[in-house]
Structure 1
Amino acid sequence: MRLFLSFFFCLCCSALTGFAQMKVSYSANDTGGVVIHADSRLALVTKSHAPQQRNYIRSTHGFRVQIYSGSDRAKASEIKLDFMRRFPGIRTYMTYVQPQFRVKVGDFATRAEAQKIYQQVSTLYSPCMIVPDIVELTNTQKDD
């Protein structure tokens, strides 16, 4: 059985390399540069993935503003809803780490970005603090 699986794997690998072969030719007399002869299906694959690579979300180390920390789930939900009504463009997160519920807001790459929101919400929610967290940052590139 192992012999069959290894034979099948080798067969699949050799078939896949046949589909993706490219021929690159260089010519000293040609002013056009490099001529690439490739399978037409390769262009379809690269075009289908191009829009997905322009806008992506990645997780990284960053900062959030914590606006609630306590054992009352109802109060945590109430504060989260209140924040969502006041600041609809900023994402909110409610987590439970025994024995406390925490409400954190925003996805900021730097502490300076989090400081701007902190100044706005510190008068509304007490105690309020900037905490390091794993955040989701969106990268949007414009088409050239």
Structure 2
Amino acid sequence: MKDGSSFYKTIAAAPVRCCVLFGLMLLPSLLFAQEKGKVEVVKDPKVDSLVQDYVVGDKGKNIAPASSDGYRIQIFSGSDRQAAYDAQAKLKAKYPDLATYLSYRAPNFKVRVGDYRSRLEAEKVMQDLKPLFGGLFITQEKINLPKLDTE
């Protein structure tokens, strides 16, 4: 036969269980009781001026991005540093207005010329450079864009 005291224990525990269950049901409503739709942004006023300079340009001038995809002509590739400098000097003597770029990636030095937006521009200049250098070819890479004339 069962003990009679267990029956009274279950009846006494019923109100406690009901309170716990009721509390668990109210918990989600307390979590979602925050006010929706209000966001307060705290920032330094200098941020607005920096964003304005970036979008419009410094002092109202239109400024192009510093680099873009484009083309350069490679005139030298080799492991001799002095030969790379000589190729760069030879080009500068004949075409002083062309920009030259010397880079090193082990074990080779590379000399590249120009900042051309289209491959056609690079091919035109490459035809002029063929008598001076052999083995020229066009590479695609990031180029420096020219400064915009604001006048």
With the length of structure 2 as denominator, give the TM-score of the two structures: 0.60
Say whether 1:102 aligns with 2:110. yes
With the length of structure 1 as denominator, give the TM-score of the two structures: 0.63
| Matched letter for residue 120 of structure 1 | D
Give the CA deviation at 1:139.
4.5
Q: Structure 2: which 5+ residue stretches go unaligned?
A: 1-40
| Matched letter for residue 119 of structure 1 | Q
Between the aligned residues of both structures, percent identity stands at: 28
| Aligned residues: CA RMSD | 2.9
| Bigger fraction of residues in strand | 1
Q: Structure 1: which 5+ residue stretches go unaligned?
A: 1-8, 21-41
Tell me which stretches of 4 or more aligned residues in structure 1 moved more than 6 Å: none
- Please say which of residues 54-63 and 88-97 is displaced more in the overlay: 54-63
Give the CA deviation at 1:49.
2.6
Say whether 1:126 aligns with 2:134. yes
Q: Are the counterparts in 2 of residues 57 and 139 from structure 1 also a CA contact under 8 Å?
A: no
The higher radius of gyration belongs to: 2
Equivalence for 2:71: 63
Give the CA deviation at 1:69.
0.5
Say whether 1:77 aligns with 2:85. yes
Q: Are the counterparts in 2 of residues 58 and 137 from structure 1 also a CA contact under 8 Å?
A: yes
| Matched letter for residue 128 of structure 1 | L
Over 3 Å counting, the alpha-carbon distance change for 1:16 and 1:73 in structure 2 is closer
Q: How many residues are aligned here?
A: 106
